[in-house]
Amino acid sequence: MDISGGFMSSQSTHPQTMDGRDPSHLRGDAITGDRYYSKEFAEKEWEHLWTRIWHIAGRLADIPEPGDYVVHNFLKESVIAVRQDDGSVRAFYNSCRHRGMRLVHDDSSTEEFVCPYHGWRYAKDGLLVHAQDSDVDFPQGDPCGKLRLNELRCDTWGGFVWYTMDDNAPTLADYLDPMPEVAKNYPMDTAVRVAWYRVKINANWKFVTDNFSESYHTRTAHPQVPPWIDQDVDSARHEMWPKGHGRTVQPMHPSISDRPADGRNVMFEAVLRQWDIDPDSYDSYEEFAFQGWKDLKAAKQKLWREKGYVHYEHMNDEEITDSPHTVIFPNVTISFLPDNLVFFRSEPCPDDPEKCYFDLWCMAFPVEGQTEVESIMAGPKPLEEVAVCEHRDFDGGQGIPELAGQIVYQDMSLAEAMQAGMHSKGYTDAVLSGQETRVRFFHEVLNDYLEGRR
């Protein structure tokens, strides 16, 4: 908020922004089917992408105390991120320096990492502090106090712990640029994770990034969305940035093209009432959608503190009513909404490029007095941290019956048939609309990595 007490005007476009609807920014690389199923392609991704980018190990909120750690298994690699005595976080390969044994398997807390094979013990900072017969039976010298777990570069942003396997990678700030600036008004660190899933699906990991790089599919796949978030083609702002990140900013008011047959929109009516606006005061559906949305902005600007929406304090007048759906290259999506933050991630399965893990973390910005929140992707949830991740197999939807009808369930339901289509001789490249420009952009940035141009 500015010092005059009024909200900052809508977020200005970042200087690096390219129009995400303009295909003249593209080379025109084909999005061929083999990149979704070829083992050779997946190996190239390991060699030139996954070992070079920054990964998220977990949330800072999950490791508040010294010794708390998270384990991030990625393909055949495993990394431990552990909170240090000084509050910092360090990341280590989850591999004993003695003979390579994996030290830990699940998130937990410890004073020392003890190897289950021969009992070597490592301090939180990775230093070997005990080894059996260390002083009498190591011809090369006692390794205790000298040897350390191999360490990775580690940093934090957005309430997440990030690491990279590449000693020569750019800094995290450089890698994410300009996302920290673009998303700076959201109190990401204080969001409460109210739903936490990892779902195995029968599709390549890139299906998820493709899917979140466009909203052209929404009207068909998610018919419940247009009455809530405007899906009309010219309503959204499509942005992409040189490092491969991008977002679609959509106003959260009804699409005019999807007017309900009876002229009533119960969902938006409820939102207006929540902010003391009478939805029956408008003369037409257009006025209800557009003027109602403007009135909503004004009401939120006036009443946010009184109603306990303290997370609006630094948000601008676009952020308090709209939805920047944001993809961080290559596999993380954060959907920012006024009162929620939804984290999505896809990671390849180690045994098959035609399978991936789909992570869903529904997070809410807490509002004073609220005990339950609408988690957007998983339905109503108590406003409290969930302690354990639900590991499920999608299994045609049977693995997550409680999410049936939700947006993510609809997306996952499409994934398997998309994967099957990639094997067809009838598919050679995508024929994209302008608003899907970011889909090809994603593949072109990926190609830049695979071919050593980045």
Q: For binding to ligand FES (CB under 6 A), which residues are involved?
A: 96, 98-99, 101, 115, 117-120
Q: Which SS3 state, helix, strand or coil, does residue 157 take?
A: strand
Q: How far is the CB of 129 from ligand FES (least distance, A)?
A: 13
The whole-angstrom separation of Cα 224 and Cα 186 is: 26
Question: String of b and e for 282-303 (b: at least 16 CB within 10 Å)?
Answer: beebeebbbbbbebbbebbbee
CB of 122 or CB of 207, closer to ligand FES = 122
The helix (H) or strand (E) run that includes residue 19 is strand 18-19
Q: Which SS3 state, helix, strand or coil, does residue 239 take?
A: strand
The whole-angstrom separation of Cα 328 and Cα 351 is: 25
Q: Say whether the peptide bond before residue 330 is cis (omega within 30 degrees of 0).
A: yes
Question: Which amino acid type is present at position 311?
Answer: H
The helix (H) or strand (E) run that includes residue 417 is helix 407-421
Q: How far is the CB of 105 from ligand FES (least distance, A)?
A: 14
269, 321, 348 from 252: Cα distances, Å: 13, 6, 33
CB of 128 or CB of 194, closer to ligand FES = 128
Q: How far is the CB of 82 from ligand FES (least distance, A)?
A: 17
Taking alpha carbons only, the member of 150, 158, 161, 188 closest to residue 81 is 161
Q: How far is the CB of 89 from ligand FES (least distance, A)?
A: 23
CB of 98 or CB of 153, closer to ligand FES = 98
CB of 102 or CB of 302, closer to ligand FES = 102
CB of 55 or CB of 97, closer to ligand FES = 97
Q: How far is the CB of 100 from ligand FES (least distance, A)?
A: 6
The per-residue DSSP string of 30-94 comes to ---GGGGT-HHHHHHHIIIIITTSEEEEEEGGG--STTEEEEEEETTEEEEEEE-TTS-EEEEES
Q: What are phi and psi of 452, to 5 degrees?
A: 75, 20
CB of 118 or CB of 314, closer to ligand FES = 118
Q: How far is the CB of 383 from ligand FES (least distance, A)?
A: 43
The whole-angstrom separation of Cα 268 and Cα 259 is: 12
Q: How far is the CB of 110 from ligand FES (least distance, A)?
A: 15
Q: How far is the CB of 310 from ligand FES (least distance, A)?
A: 48
| Phi-psi domain of 75 (left: phi exceeds 0; alpha: psi -120 through 50; beta: other) | left
Q: How far is the CB of 139 from ligand FES (least distance, A)?
A: 17
The number of angstroms, rounded, from the C-alpha of 439 to the middle of its chain's C-alpha atoms is 17
Q: What is the DSSP letter of 260?
A: -
CB of 39 or CB of 99, closer to ligand FES = 99
Alpha-carbon torsion, ordered 218, 221, 226, 229, to 10 deg: -50
CB of 119 or CB of 180, closer to ligand FES = 119
Q: How far is the CB of 99 from ligand FES (least distance, A)?
A: 4
CB of 101 or CB of 389, closer to ligand FES = 101
Within 191-275, residue ranges assigned H as helices are 206-212, 218-221, 266-274
The per-residue DSSP string of 264-298 comes to --HHHHHHHHHTT--GGG-SSHHHHHHHHHHHHHH
CB of 31 or CB of 96, closer to ligand FES = 96
Q: How far is the CB of 97 from ligand FES (least distance, A)?
A: 8
Q: Say whether the peptide bond before residue 187 is cis (omega within 30 degrees of 0).
A: no
CB of 114 or CB of 430, closer to ligand FES = 114
**Helix, strand, coil percentages for the chain (3-state, nearest 5):** 25, 25, 50
